[in-house]
Amino acid sequence: MKTLVIADHDNGQLKPETSKTINAAVKLGFAVDVLVQGADISAMANDVALIDGVSCVLVADSSAYAHQLAENTADLVLSLASDYSHIVASATTTGKNFMPRVAALLDVAQISEIIDVVDAETFKRPIYAGNAIATVKSLDTKKVITVRASSFDLQSDQAAAPLTTIDANLENQLSNFVSVEQTESERPELTAADVVISGGRGMQNGENFALLNGIADKLGAAIGASRAAVDAGFVPNDMQVGQTGKIVAPNLYIAVGISGAIQHLAGMKDSKVIVAINKDPDAPIFQVADYGLVADLFDVLPELETAL
Amino acid sequence: MKVLVPIKRVIDYNVKARVKSDNSDVDLTNVKMAMNPFCEIAIEEAIRLKESGTATEVVAVTIGAKASQEQLRTALALGADKAIHVETDEKLESLHVAKLLAKIVEQESPELVILGKQSIDSDNNQTGQMLAALTNRGQGTFASKVDVDSGTVKVTREVDGGLQTVELKLPAIVTTDLRLNEPRYASLPNIMKAKRKPLEVIAAASLGVDLSPRIQLVSVNEPAKRSGGIIVEDVAQLVEKLKTEAKVI
Displacement of CA B82 from its chain's centroid (Å)? 18
DSSP B179-217: GG--PPPPPHHHHHHHTTS-EEEEEGGGG------SEEE
Which DSSP helix (H) or strand (E) runs through B46?
helix B37-51
- Name the minimum distance, in Å, from the CA of B105 to any CA of chain A: 16
Q: What pLDDT, on a 0 to 100 scale, did the predictor assign at position B73? A: 98
Q: What pLDDT, on a 0 to 100 scale, did the predictor assign at position B234? A: 96
Distance CA B83, CA B79 (A): 11
B98–A97 C-beta distance less than 8 A:
no
Distance CA B76, CA B187 (A): 11
Residues in chain B within 8 Å Cβ distance of A178 = 154, 165-167
Strand residues in B12-56 grouped as ranges (E): 18-19, 26-27, 33-35
Q: What share of chain B is helix, strand, coil (3-state, %, to 5)?
A: 30, 35, 35
The dihedral over CA atoms of A274, A278, A284, A287, expressed in degrees to the nearest 10, equals: 40
Distance CA A88, CA B143 (A): 24
**CA dihedral sign of residues B71, B74, B78, B82:** positive
R_g (Cα) of chain B, nearest Å = 21
The residues, any chain, with a CB within 8 Å of residue B130's CB and separated by 6 or more, are A100, A101, A103, A104, A110, B94, B95, B98
| Residue of A206, A205, A223 lying closest to A214 (CA atoms) | A223
Q: What pLDDT, on a 0 to 100 scale, did the predictor assign at position B161? A: 82
Write the residue in B132, B166, B214 that is nearest to A109 by C-beta.
B214
R_g (Cα) of chain A, nearest Å = 20
Q: What pLDDT, on a 0 to 100 scale, did the predictor assign at position B153? A: 98
Quote ipTM for the complex: 0.94
| Residue of A58, A81, A62 lying closest to A162 (CA atoms) | A58
- Name the minimum distance, in Å, from the CA of A303 to any CA of chain B: 7
Asked whether the beta carbons of A3 and A31 are under 8 A apart, the reply is yes
- Name the minimum distance, in Å, from the CA of A32 to any CA of chain B: 23
Write the residue in B18, B221, B232 that is nearest to A133 by C-beta.
B221
Write the residue in A112, A182, A275 that is nearest to B124 by C-beta.
A112
Write the residue in B134, B215, B242 that is nearest to A109 by C-beta.
B215
Q: Which residues of chain A are modeled with pLDDT < 50?
A: none
Asked whether the beta carbons of B140 and B155 are under 8 A apart, the reply is yes
| Residue of B148, B141, B155, B137 lying closest to B51 (CA atoms) | B148
The residues, any chain, with a CB within 8 Å of residue A206's CB and separated by 6 or more, are A233, A234, A235
Q: What share of chain A is helix, strand, coil (3-state, %, to 5)?
A: 35, 30, 35
- Name the minimum distance, in Å, from the CA of A98 to any CA of chain B: 7
- Name the minimum distance, in Å, from the CA of B32 to any CA of chain A: 14
Write the residue in B128, B217, B229 that is nearest to A134 by C-beta.
B217
B246–A273 C-beta distance less than 8 A:
yes
Asked whether the beta carbons of B81 and B197 are under 8 A apart, the reply is yes
- Name the minimum distance, in Å, from the CA of A159 to any CA of chain B: 31
Q: What pLDDT, on a 0 to 100 scale, did the predictor assign at position A205? A: 97
pLDDT tens per residue across span B158-182: 998 889 999 999 999 999 998 899 9
B157–A237 C-beta distance less than 8 A:
no
pTM of the predicted model, to two decimals? 0.94
Q: What pLDDT, on a 0 to 100 scale, did the predictor assign at position B165? A: 98
Which residue of chain B comes nearest to A147, CA vs CA?
B124
Distance CA B100, CA A165 (A): 38
Distance CA B111, CA B207 (A): 21
B216–A139 C-beta distance less than 8 A:
yes
Distance CA A196, CA A248 (A): 8
Write the residue in A94, A122, A238 that is nearest to B158 by C-beta.
A238
A238–B166 C-beta distance less than 8 A:
no
Residues in chain A within 8 Å Cβ distance of B36 = none
- Name the minimum distance, in Å, from the CA of B40 to any CA of chain A: 15
| Residue of A307, A275, A273 lying closest to A291 (CA atoms) | A275
B230–A109 C-beta distance less than 8 A:
no
Residues in chain A within 8 Å Cβ distance of B8 = none
Q: What is the 3-state secondary structure (H, E, C) of B84-118?
A: EEEECCCCCCHHHHHHHHHHHHHHHCCCEEEEECC
Phi, psi of A263 (to 5 degrees): -70, -25
Distance CA A71, CA B133 (A): 8
Distance CA A165, CA A167 (A): 6
Report the interhelical angle of A297-307 vs B235-244 (nearest 10°): 50
Distance CA A286, CA A274 (A): 9
Asked whether the beta carbons of B36 and B87 are under 8 A apart, the reply is no
Q: Which amino acid is at A234?
A: F
**Beta carbon pairs, A and B, within 8 Å:** 267
B226–A269 C-beta distance less than 8 A:
yes
Q: Which residues pair with B202 in a beta bridge?
A: B86
Residues in chain A within 8 Å Cβ distance of B210 = none
Q: Which residues of chain B are modeled with pLDDT < 50?
A: none
Asked whether the beta carbons of B229 and A272 are under 8 A apart, the reply is no
Write the residue in B131, B139, B238 that is nearest to A291 by C-beta.
B238
Backbone dihedral region for residue A256 (phi beyond 0: left; psi -120 to 50: alpha; all else: beta):
beta
Q: What pLDDT, on a 0 to 100 scale, did the predictor assign at position A191? A: 87
Distance CA A136, CA A114 (A): 10
| Residue of A234, A243, A179 lying closest to A212 (CA atoms) | A234
Q: What pLDDT, on a 0 to 100 scale, did the predictor assign at position A101? A: 98
